[in-house]
Amino acid sequence: MSESFEFQKKLTKISEELRKREVDVRDRLADIEKKRVEALKKVEEMKRNALHDIQKVEEGIMKAKLDPETKTRLASEILELKQNTEKEYSELRIIIIGKATSPQS
C-alpha cells in the first residue's frame, strides 16, 4: 500500500507542477496580448498625428503666397508623404496582428 501511495504522491506532484506551468503560460499570453493592444494603439496614434501634421502644413501652403509651380511640387510631396504614412501604418498593423495570430512552427 505504501508503494501505491508513493506513486500517487508523485502523480499529484506532477499534476501540480503542470498547473503551475499552465498558469505561467496563460499569464505570459495575457502579457503578450496587452503588448499587442498597446502597439496597435501606438500605430493608430502615429498615423493620426502624422496625418494631422500633414494637414496643418497643407493648410499653410494653401494660405501662403507661393507661385503655382511651388504649390504643385509641395502638393506632390504631401501626397507622397500621405501615401507613405498609409503604407507604414498598414505594414505595422500586419506585423503586429500577424505576429500575434500566426501559428508557431
> What's the predicted TM-score (pTM) here?
0.70
Share of the chain above pLDDT 70, in %: 92
pLDDT in tens, 1-14: 689 999 999 999 99
pLDDT in tens, 49-86: 999 999 999 999 999 999 999 999 999 999 999 999 99
| Res. 98 pLDDT band, cuts 50 70 90 | confident
Give the C-alpha distances (Å, rounded to integers) separating 64 from 28, 30, 57, 59, 73.
Answer: 54, 51, 10, 9, 14
Domain positions in the chain: 2-101
Could you tell me which residue, 87 or 103, shows the higher pLDDT? 87
pLDDT in tens, 18-48: 999 999 999 999 999 999 999 999 999 999 9
Is the Cβ–Cβ distance between 84 and 31 less than 8 Å?
no
What is the Cα–Cα distance from 27 to 19, expressed in whole angstroms?
12
